[in-house]
Structure 1
Amino acid sequence: MMSPSRARCGRRWLRGRRSRCWSCTSSSGESPRPCPLPAARGLPPRGGTSTTEAHPPSWVVPTLPHSPAGRDQYDGGAPAVVGGAHPPPLSASLERGDPHRPAERLPTTGSAEPPPTTQSTTRTASELPRIPAYPAAERAVRALAEAVKYAQWRRDAAEPGKVHEYEDIDESGAAAMIDGLLARGDGDPRGMSLAADEARELLGRYGIHVRPALPASGPDEGARAAERLGYPVALKTTAPHLRHRPDLGGVRLDLTDEEQLRRAYAELTEALGKPEELRPVVQAMAPRGVDTVVRAVIDPAAGAVLSFGLAGAASELLGDTAHRLIPVTDRDAQSVVRSIRTAPVLFGWRGAAPVDTAALEELLQRVSRLVDDHPEVAAVSLEPVVVATQGVSVLGASVRLAPPPARSDLGPRTLPAY
């Protein structure tokens, strides 16, 4: 880096303990010469006039020895001069505050005591502030989102919801029916699956109404079933390999008269097989809506669990299903409906009409009450559950009963709110 004196003179420099301008110093190094600097540099002309020692010119640059020891012993002398003026001794320049050499940076002989130094306080690792560090901003945002979710969980746990008491629930009648069905069984520890009529009756005691489906072993029987239920009707198969598979053509919808019903029956049996294999049924049409699935099962580790999702590929292929422990409160029912990724379909996605989520939440709580009141109910599956703009329609249901498992802990197996 160029020194201030060299920047002012711009001439060739000598090496040594004191920097001098070649043209400003004689060959013997004793008598100074006028420095021929151009006036454009803002310096005095050749042979510049002397100034008083009280106010030395700004172009006077004192030079110091290189070693700190030499600086302490230095008491003035003949520094390099630009313009022919000799500066005062260095001690006077330091006391006055030379603009080129601040006094606080240059120690002098007999100077004041050095300023006291403060000792740094050593703190242990536990006393140091803990600041989380992340290698990328994305991870920091993800950690912040998890902290927000945890705080929301803490708030929800501090103010839990309540389990509704429905007046139309027949708990004693359902208990008597379950005991009778288990007594009639063969004692299999895995339990027994109820028939369609038995499952519909048991669910009806808890206010869960399943639309009846009448068997149609032939076209004539299907026509009589449609007359009994009322048009329009749907014709669908109940074979295990075709259940809930509308893509295979096992369902015919919106049949408004007997002629359409007979034509659909002939096409169904011709494409998929004999009526004995298909087990076709006739069911009254439900209002248009969103198809969902509601399940409840007894898990060996978690206990009774309620599951919800959209019917079809969303839950079966993508696994978009939400779960809550039983008994489900009103707040749990609201959160489970809104926690699936496809929840916008229920709330008017792409301009569609929002469906009746309040009726859906009530259905979830009724299923929860059934499983919570009767530990013999090992599994419940409602599929599909059509959620329309007004109300819900349960089109299919299956129930499995089993002897209640032995449990030493009672109540829901929920995480505590610390």
Structure 2
Amino acid sequence: MTPVAPCHLSALGLVNALGRGKREVAAGLLCGDTSGLVDEEGWLPGRTARVGRVRGALEALPERFAADDSRNTRLLLLALEEIRAEVDREISRHGTHRVGVVLGTSTSGIEAAERAVAHHQQHHTLPAGFHYRQQEIGRLAPFLAEFLGLQGPAITVSTACTSSGKALVTARNLLRLGLCDAVITGGADSLCRLTLNGFASLESVSPGPCNPMSRNRAGINVGEGAALFILRKEPAAVALLGAGASSDAHHISSPDPSGAGAEAAMRAALAEAGPDVAVGYLNLHATATAKNDEMESRATQVVFPAGIACSGTKPLTGHLLGAAAATELAFCWLLAQEAWNPDGLLPPHRWDGEADRDLPALDLVTDGAAFRGARICMSNAFAFGGNNLSLILGPAR
């Protein structure tokens, strides 16, 4: 495959259990801080749940957007706040009709609907301020476009755990087709009981800290957060070098145990990036579920037979579901730049250290490990239904 001109990731705003903004998140990422995950009551009947909650109060939306006010949109605007000056600059340069919005989510504002149902059960009426729009999955991108006064394309992508990564690929396509000059892209997801109980019904929620790649792994910890990029053609410090996707449709929830779909996505991303791109770090999807870790470790060994430094970062944030792919690509964005990672460190893999002998052995990052070459990163995201995605970024050339 002939490499195509890369698009550039010129700005990043993010929030998750590691902190608010790039500085806090980068510091927690590089030291492998798991303190943002906490045990809470009320999510699952009769037991606590370990969740990656964003700490502190979230500011309500302006009154004219009250119908869109939810924890999800509040997280989204918190991420936007960090890059608002850069966003305004792109709008000023290109005009409102040439800036698009493409976002991924899987929960949207379902938490607001849960509170409304609970209120109705008690008071036989919906609470003041509740609007169905708060829980519409497709509403996230149009909301942000209206908030910013944009008239370009506004698209919400919901493909489970690849959602925000697929949003970046869609945003890149808008640039390549000449439909936009800049796109605000990423995703947001917020904690809700529906998601936690759904995964619990699949016996996929860990009772303690998630434990990726361990023989004792027992499932995910769910988290929340948002990550927003500005994607554009003009040069910036970091480029999106390659993207690869596959859809193996093996099962409605279980991945293909051979890892063939994951392998296909990884190879497609590498082919698009080109033969001169040497990946130095792989951010694993690493959900700490039995089947995901099994197939991903197999695919990784096949694609990188000589080994590659890799780690799973979900023990630091929880699994952000629809926002996971953009969030973990954001981690790679931070790793790739001296401004945020002066020593070239890699995020350590947090687990109990008890390897599963049935899985291929991977080069899991330990404390203090650093890039051995160029700061080029691949990030994996795998979703229900055999929906697989791999993204590669690195310093612009």
- Which band: TM-score by shorter chain? under 0.3
What TM-score comes out, normalization by structure 1 length? 0.21
Larger Rg: 1
What TM-score comes out, normalization by structure 2 length? 0.22
**Higher relative contact order, chain-length normalized (CA < 8 Å, sep 6+):** 2
